[in-house]
Amino acid sequence: MPDTLPDLWPEIETENIVTPLAILRFQAGQLRTKTKGLIEAVVRTVSVSDDSVFHELVVIAPALDRYEYVIGTFKHAQHLVYPVRVQSESTETCFCSTQEELLEAVSAILRSEKVRSVISSLIAQSRDVNQLTNSSGAK
Amino acid sequence: MNSEITFLFWNVNRRPLASLVGEIAREKSVDVVILAESDGDDTAYIESLTNQTGRAFNKPYANSDKIDVFTHLPRDSVRPVYDHASRRMTVRRLVLEKTDLLLVALHFQSKVNWSDQDQAGEAGNLCREVCRLEDEHGHQRTIVVGDFNMNPFEPGMTSCHGFHAVMTKAIAQKNRRMVSGSDYRFFYNPSWNHFGDRTPGPAGTHYYAPGKPIQFYWNHFDQLLLRPSLLPYFHDDFAVLDRCGERSLLSQHGQPDETVGSDHLPILFRLQFSSSAETLNHA
């Protein structure tokens, strides 16, 4: 046996690993500020029976009886955060093997015409409801 | 108040059926029309429904691309609650004079692309969402209707991990059952009463006959599920429609005629709220 054995492990990233949940929560947290409090987003997580985890990115309009619109679903194994299956009405279903790929996929969803138009529409309706509430309260 | 409310669900298979849907709405006094696989011509549907029934139909706001809901009820009576375009499900709150309901409409993934196991798994996901929304709204006055792409006897429809929909009112009225320490709510599925020849209507809602060893020919993919708290208001007013006026929706072979209608037959159901509606809010 030689005096020293080689270390066969590759370089392992310990600092910059970001889970899908963290990526989604961060994006969700931005929406309230961006829409001046009119629209919120949350990440809803459920464990499903086949040992996988399911996250939903949900847009909520508080003024519209908390109407919910699910803009994307993200599924990965219970003990393996990548790859993630990304499913959305606004983009093609895809599998992301890294956080960089996931960031790209989430960006495509958030910037899609469908999501923009839903959010614009919810903002407009929320403003209407708020104005109605304010004017009836002022009487 | 709305003493009764009549619903029509139809997977119209992208056929231009606005005129026919309007005729059925007039003939059956339909209040809420729910369509899957519409051709997207909302204006044609609104015009036809309004002209034929004499009631001003509208399409209340929601973001459900795969399911369309039209009604002559005031816009504010059909409020959006939840949309999940990928999951092909939309949830609306029906606000009636003395109560409100949750209306879940869906078009489930087809057997062409999804296995029975895939469908059963997704049924569980959808049902969890329905239970969560019921909890948030504080009641279980829930209607689920749509093209489930599963028969009433399949695991996705019957399993406690799926829709947990049973064949008799008596069982459904037990409300729930425990399985392995967890509590699961029942749905009642009246489609169980509509199989085969000894029914008033056709043997199913969809006919399909590929050369496979196991073949049902007729399928009841288009179904209605009701929570037990709505059963006092459901008097078996559920029908698979095979004609509109004098016009048959079936071919000479007795199968859905796509040259007249769709490859699916429409389903019609009605809830009747008597003067006891006051108590409905507490059901």
Q: What is the pLDDT of residue B158?
A: 97
- The answer to whether the Cβ–Cβ distance between B124 and A73 falls below 8 Å is no
- The answer to whether the Cβ–Cβ distance between A54 and B86 falls below 8 Å is no
Read out DSSP for chain B?
A: ---EEEEEEEE-TT---HHHHHHHHHHHT-SEEEEES--S-HHHHHHHHHHHHSS--B------SSEEEEESS-GGGEEEEEEETTTTEEEEEEE-SS-EEEEEEEEPPPTTTS-HHHHHHHHHHHHHHHHHHHHHHT---EEEEEE-SS-TTSHHHHSTTTT-EES-HHHHTT-EEEETTEEEE-EE-GGGGG-SSSSSS-S-SEE---S-SS--SEE--EEEEE-GGGGGG--S-EEE--EETTEESB-TTSSB-TTTS-SB--EEEEEE--TTHHHHTT-
pLDDT tens sequence across B117-158: 889 988 998 999 999 999 999 999 999 999 999 999 999 999
Is residue B166 scored above 90 in pLDDT?
yes
Of A64, A72, A87, the CB nearest to B80: A64
- The answer to whether the Cβ–Cβ distance between A49 and B61 falls below 8 Å is no
Torsion sign over Cα B35, B234, B90, B185: negative
Of B65, B84, B128, the CB nearest to A70: B84
- The answer to whether the Cβ–Cβ distance between A48 and B125 falls below 8 Å is yes
With DSSP H G I counted as helix, E B as strand and the rest as coil, what are the percentages for chain A, rounded to 5? 40, 30, 30
> What's the Rg (C-alpha) of chain B?
18
What whole-number distance in Å separates Cα of residue A83 and Cα of residue A95?
Answer: 6
Q: What is the pLDDT of residue A89?
A: 81
Q: Where are the domains of chain A?
A: 20-133
Torsion sign over Cα B165, B167, B173, B177: negative
In the stretch 76-135 of chain A, residues with CB closer than 8 A to chain B read 87-89, 118, 121, 125
Distances (CA, A) of B27 to A32, B16, B54: 48, 19, 12
What whole-number distance in Å separates Cα of residue B208 and Cα of residue B215?
Answer: 8
Q: What is the ipTM of this complex?
A: 0.80
- The answer to whether the Cβ–Cβ distance between A67 and B82 falls below 8 Å is yes
pLDDT tens sequence across A41-100: 999 997 665 688 889 999 999 999 999 999 999 999 988 889 999 988 878 889 999 999
Q: What is the DSSP letter of A85?
A: E
Q: How confident is the model at residue A130 (pLDDT cuts 50, 70, 90)?
A: confident
Q: Where are the domains of chain B?
A: 4-278
Do residues B150 and B208 lie in contact, with contact meaning Cβ atoms separated by under 8 Å?
Answer: no
A68 touches B: beta carbon within 8 Å: yes
Of A54, A67, A73, the CB nearest to B80: A67
Closest CA–CA distance from residue A34 to any residue of chain B (Å): 21
- The answer to whether the Cβ–Cβ distance between B79 and A70 falls below 8 Å is no
Of A46, A64, A67, the CB nearest to B128: A46
The CATH class for the domain spanning B4-278 reads alpha beta
Q: Which amino acid is at A118?
A: V
Q: What is the DSSP letter of A60?
A: E
Q: What is the mean pLDDT of chain B?
A: 92
User: Which residues, listed in sequence order, are joined to residue B244 by a DSSP beta bridge?
Assistant: B247
Q: What is the mean pLDDT of chain A?
A: 90
Q: Which amino acid is at A58?
A: V
Pairing of strands A94-96, B4-11: unpaired
Q: What is the pLDDT of residue B17?
A: 97
Of A49, A66, A89, the CB nearest to B85: A89
Residue A66 with chain B: CB contacts under 8 Å: 136
Is residue A139 scored above 60 in pLDDT?
no
Residue A50 with chain B: CB contacts under 8 Å: 121
Q: What is the pLDDT of residue B167?
A: 97
- The answer to whether the Cβ–Cβ distance between B83 and A64 falls below 8 Å is no
Between A115 and A17, whose confidence is greater? A115
